[in-house]
Chains A and B, each alone.
Chain A
Amino acid sequence: MSKTLRGLSPENRRGLSETAVEITSMNKWYGDFHALRDINLTVRRGERIVICGPSGSGKSTMIRCINRLEEHQSGKIVVDGIELTSDLKKIEEVRREVGMVFQHFNLFPHLTILENCTLAPIWVRKVPERQAKEIAMHFLEKVRIPDQAHKYPGQLSGGQQQRVAIARSLCMKPRIMLFDEPTSALDPEMIKEVLDTMIALADEGMTMLCVTHEMGFAQAVADRVIFMDQGQIVEQNEPRAFFSAPRSERTRTFLGQILGH
């Protein structure tokens, strides 16, 4: 595959530090509820991180802060060298470089699969239409659904929709990909096809932050597993140590619950 299609062409790489995301002492409140507490996290370029934890622990909120779908109230988030403030230009700049895959796919139901994939490159990156279509077809082939390009999202299965959603994000050639429980809304038969796509992406060196409960995936591709509870990072480690020798009591209980049966 050509380098330019990977979004990591030499000119893009120039002047970039080795740090993809840096979060320092970040706090977030929903009203009076302290949702994220003192988050410190540094993600190196090319690192694959899996974030797990009980529901309501703040894992989705944390990764949604990285592309400013959620606003943080204190602390500092630097993505790709750009600090996230209320400056809209900066936010849009970050969003161009950060792809996101949602639990409920959030494809645009009024557009075809191909149009879903070409929309942002054409309107945000100003790629000519013909070239945008080529890029879209390239990524649709990569997620193995090029033959569905002219259908509408409603005609596809959940697993196919999620793969389209991944392709749609990749068409913007992001440097960082965020996955917010990408397989939680899928039937068991379809989880594997989405995970395979994500594993292929990880093998190509994409920086990934995945909120997921697929521990098999974590063991296969993650460089680091983060466990969150009550809005804070409780434990992080490389996957082998994380699963074989969790250090916190809270982590042990959680792992016992999800791996126990």
Chain B
Amino acid sequence: MNLHNVSWVRQEMVLPSARPAGQGGPREWMRKNLFDGWLSTLLTVASVTAIAWLIVAIAPWLGNSIWKANSLAECRQLLDGAPGACWGVIRDRWPQLLFGFYPADLYWRPVLAFALLLAALAPVLFRALPSRTLWFSAVYPGLAGWLIWGGSLWFPVAVYLGFAVAAGLFASTARASQGLGLSVAGLGAALWWVYAAQPFSSAANAVIPIVLEAVPSREIGGFLLSIIIGVTGIATSLPLGILLALGRRSGLPLIYMLSVVFIEFIRGVPLITLLFTASLLLNYFLPPGTNFDLILRVVIMVTLFASAYMAEVIRGGLAGLPCGQYEAAEALGLDYWKAQRLIILPQALKISIPGIVNTFIGLFKDTTLVMFIGLLDPIALAAAIRANTEWQGIYWELFIFIGAVFFIFCFGMSRYSMYLERRLKTDHR
């Protein structure tokens, strides 16, 4: 028999009240996080000691930095036996590290291209800017190419006209069938680029010459080269990766097979192999006498390499979406491309941001591999500088500087991706 009386009713509801004081504060935080038991205390002391030791070891070397010296010998003389960093090498070779062997009187052109790059990137990266400015982002690649390589302005214009040709052909044939429209547009643009672009730009140039002094690719180097390869690779590998990821999930056997073979082949081959292919082997396959720019070849290889990784990262994001999203989009009558563009990809890309940025950062750092095929990226220049009698024997300063510049770019990408994730966070979990 139950002796309790289970019947009970609350007479008043309890109102929310403030949390008791005395929790938190720096003392409490330190006790909880730094000195919580003997093991934690031991680890804290050991870590602090290690950091202190590192600082004590490096500080005098950094503190005695020499900025004004024209050779390592001069540096050593100034230091007089004391430990010290000789940053004079950075100061002495600054233009070379930035531009390679780009003609000194034309430095304004890559500098202007870099400044315009920031203006072109801003509307893509930050939505606050009006979408009209995106037009400049679209024009920028041609403009930057012209500024850096010089030559006739009509050449990039002719290349852009290829897109206009494609758009025109697509608009006039897509009514019959979208697939037909795409093929005709692609073929038309390709024919334009191969046969008409060069005569067009020569003819236009004959009428209205707008020419910058041409700079050959072998003179372009340093961080300018890294940024050219990195930015072009990043900008083109993302859309290519998206197409490959969609292809790998496609129900059409031919597209599926092509995507799988491409991704698996590119992922299975080291980048350095692809770069050697670009620099040496392609010459055997191309018709003799074709002058296919080495930097362009390298950019293509780096892009293909990154896009294979990108495709797999994005495929992960696509697989992470519940199938209800596909069904809802279909049930509303959206066709495949609209469903992908408006519903699926915005969500899949959001999930994939960490992986995408990972690939971007990897691509940017991999640009240093081009030194092995004779392009003068910062690492190759460092080697060249160290081979010079003035700076023979210098080591840490050059590589610390190069590392720091790469770090700034990569850290910037990482911070931007975190900002983007916060901005796109709408799930309120």
Binding site for B on A (CB under 8 A): 67, 69, 88, 92, 95-96, 98-100, 102, 104, 106-111, 119-120, 123-124, 152, 154-155, 168-169, 172
Contact = CB atoms under 8 A, between A and B. Distances in A.
B333 A152 contact: no
B428 A88 contact: no
B426 A109 contact: yes
B428 A106 contact: no
A98 B330 CA distance: 11
A107 B426 CA distance: 12
Contact of B333 (A92, A106, A154, A155): A92
Contacts of B429: 154
Given A102-B327, A102-B328, A108-B343, A120 B428 contact: no
Contacts of A120: 332-334
A104 B321 CA distance: 14
A69 B331 contact: yes
A100 B328 CA distance: 8
A106 B324 CA distance: 5
B333 A109 contact: no
Contact of A92 (B335, B343, B347, B427): B335
12 contacts: A67-B330, A92-B333, A95-B330, A95-B332, A100-B331, A102-B324, A110-B426, A119-B332, A124-B338, A152-B427, A154-B428, A169-B332
B346 interface: yes
B343 to A, nearest CB: 6
A106 B347 contact: no
Contact of B338 (A69, A98, A110, A123): A123
Contacts of B324: 102, 104, 106
Interface centre among B332, B426, B428 (most CB of A within 10 A): B332
Contacts of B322: 104, 106
A106 B335 contact: no
A108 B334 CA distance: 13
Nearest to A97: B333
Interface of B: 322, 324-325, 327-335, 338, 342-343, 346-347, 350, 424, 426-429
Contacts of A88: 335
Given A102-B324, A102-B328, A106-B328, A154 B427 contact: yes
Contacts of B330: 67, 69, 95
A11 to B, nearest CB: 19
Contact of A110 (B328, B332, B333, B350): B350
Contacts of B327: 69, 102, 106
Nearest to B335: A92
B403 to A, nearest CB: 38
A260 B292 CA distance: 81
A96 B346 CA distance: 23
Nearest to A89: B335
Nearest to A100: B331
B428 A108 contact: no
A155 B427 CA distance: 8
Given A123-B342, A124-B334, A154-B427, 14 more contacts: A67-B330, A67-B331, A96-B333, A106-B324, A107-B328, A108-B347, A110-B347, A110-B350, A110-B426, A119-B332, A119-B342, A120-B333, A124-B333, A169-B331
Q: Pick from A67, A108, A124, A152 the residue with the most CB of B within 10 Å.
A: A108
